[in-house]
Structure formats: C-alpha cells, structure tokens
Amino acid sequence: MTGDAMPELPEVETTRRGIAPHLEGREIVEVIVREPRLRIPVPGTLADDLVGAHIGNLRRRAKYLLIPLISSGGVSRSLLWHLGMSGSLRIARVGDIPRKHDHIDIVIEDRHVLRYHDPRRFGFVDWLSSSEDTDKRLVKLGPEPLSSAFDGEHLYRLSRGRRLAVKSFLMDNAVVVGVGNIYAAEALFLAGIDPRRAAGRISRTRYDRLAAAVRDVLAAAIDQGGTTLRDFVSGVGEPGYFAQRLNVYGRDGQPCRRCGAELRLTTVGQRASVFCTRCQT
C-alpha cells in the first residue's frame, strides 16, 4: 500500500496492548538516544529524566501513546509518543543488535527494551503538558470512536450546514479521532453512504448506521492487529492482518463483495477513495 502507509488508531492501540505488559510497573534503568532529530527534537534531558522512573498504565488518545512515569523523587509526568508515518515501538532484549533507523532504546529493569524505529523520522516523543486538557496537541481532539461520547447524534449535530464531503468530515479529528482514510472508506461502505455526499445532507438515521459501522470496523481491526501496512508492525513485531478483510480500500476495479459491481476510484479531499456506486448512495 502507498500513500497511507502510516499507523492509524487500531495500529496504535495494537502497539499499546503489545508493549504494555512488558513495561507497566517496571523501572527504567537506561535510555539510549541514537538519533534525536525527529519531527520534534528529542528532549535533551530525556535520559536523565527517565532513568530511575517507574512506568504507569499506558494509555492511548487518538494516535498518541501516553506513558505515565513516576520519578524516583515521586514526581508524576507523562511522555507523549506519536509514531508519525513510519514509526513503530516494539519490545526487544538487551543485546539485540539495533537496526538502521532504531533511534531510541528505553531499557527496563528485566532487560527488556522498548525500541523506537522510524525510517522517515516524522514521529516524536515529548513531555505531555500539565494535563490532557491543556496540552495543545490534545485539547481540540474530538471523542474516541469506541467511547460512549461518539454516536450518530454527535455526527448529525456537528454536520448540520456542512458542505464538505462526508468522508472528509469523518476524518476530521475535531469531529472524531482516529478514523483515517482506510477505516473511513470501510465504514462508509458498511453504512451504504457515498463518500462524496455533503455531510450536511445526510440524515440522522444514516449517521446512526455510520457511527455503528465506524465502531465495528475499528473494533475488528484492533482484534486482528491493525491493517497490514508497508511499514507497520505491532509492539511484539507482528504485522497486522485486517487488510485481508478490506471491502473497498485499495480494491478499485475489482468486484464489490456485496453486489459484484466494479468498484470505482475517486478523490475526496485530495485522498484516494474507492466505493461502490450501487451499494453506496
């Protein structure tokens, strides 16, 4: 796949689930920064600040990983980690030879290593501001798509008067977080909605179906380890497998799995979008 080879919400959640059991409750004993020149430069005192700290319960907000830390002096802070377009976090062992583009190692007391790999260096690790409510990178984000705050009423209310295409509306992180190009295309197919339709011209009933489809698609992708992308692997080094079940994304010119019609490729908001002209209206 090209053009969308980046971790989306299910890939980040899969990463969190993969690395959390190896990190939570454990002490950091060493930090190695091989390449500090990421999208945001690695904080110069990161190693000094992390060594001796204990790791709390990892969380995810949108495509960000939040790693709570309690220092040896009892100070609580959180790291904010973004994987960018090609980044991955995986668990290695002390002594495993780093590969090219393995930029950061966080060594844990039991000789496990949290290793950050990022060929394009579009990701970053930085300190979270005092809280999620004040950090400028998080404060304007919409609800999590698998939370109770996200439903058809939410989509319907925010869409009134909006002329932009519903697919672009669904991919707006101020509307709902983490619904990238792949999962938006799949959810719109399941809901039977043409991705080009104006967001403000879709009924509440159809938005109920769309919200349910978003939840179903993302939950299925998380269960199967995310979408197989060129650069993505999970926190334990395994590729995702959801791509085997994609209905429309990347299948332009192939028959619709539902009706058999040839799937059509178009552009929505400067992003490639494949849909079925019969099933999606």
23 conformational bin, left if phi > 0, alpha if psi -120 to 50, beta if neither = alpha
Query: Which of these is catalytic: 8, 11, 13, 186?
Result: 8
Instruction: Give the pLDDT score at 72.
Output: 79
| pLDDT score at 101 | 96
Query: 221 is written with which tokens?
Result: 């992708």
Domains recognised in the chain with CATH numbers: 9-127 (3.20.190.10), 152-275 (1.10.8.50)
Over residues 5-17, mean pLDDT: 85
Share of the chain above pLDDT 70, in %: 91
Continuous segment of H or E residues that includes residue 208: helix 204-223
Q: State residue 226's pLDDT score.
A: 62
Active site residue 63: yes
Q: Kindly name the residue from 7, 10, 145, 195 that is annotated as catalytic.
A: 7
pLDDT tens for 112-148 read: 999 999 999 999 999 998 778 889 999 999 999 999 9
- Please confirm, yes or no, whether 7 is among the known catalytic residues: yes
75, HSE (Cβ side, Cα atoms, 13 Å): 8
Is the model more confident about 154 or about 4? 154
Q: How far apart are CA 225 and CA 14, in angstroms?
A: 6
> 8 an active-site residue?
yes
Distance CA 73, CA 257 (A): 58
- The pLDDT assigned to 56 comes to 96
Average pLDDT value for residue range 48-76? 93
Residue among 63, 214, 211 at smallest CA distance from 141:
63
> Contact, 3 vs 98, CB < 8 A?
no
Q: What pLDDT does residue 141 have?
A: 96
Average pLDDT over residues 13-35: 95
Binding residues for DNA: 101, 120, 162
Catalytic choice (60, 115, 206, 271): 271
- Please tell me which residue in 60, 63, 197, 206 is annotated as part of the active site: 63
Tokens 């939570």: give the residue: 24
Q: Name the DSSP class of 13.
A: H
Binding-site residues: 101, 120, 162
- Across 21-100, the runs of DSSP E, i.e. the strands, are 28-33, 54-55, 59-61, 64-70, 76-82, 88-93
219-265, pLDDT tens digit by residue? 998 888 765 444 445 555 555 545 557 899 999 999 999 999 999 99
Mean pLDDT (whole number) for 184-191: 97
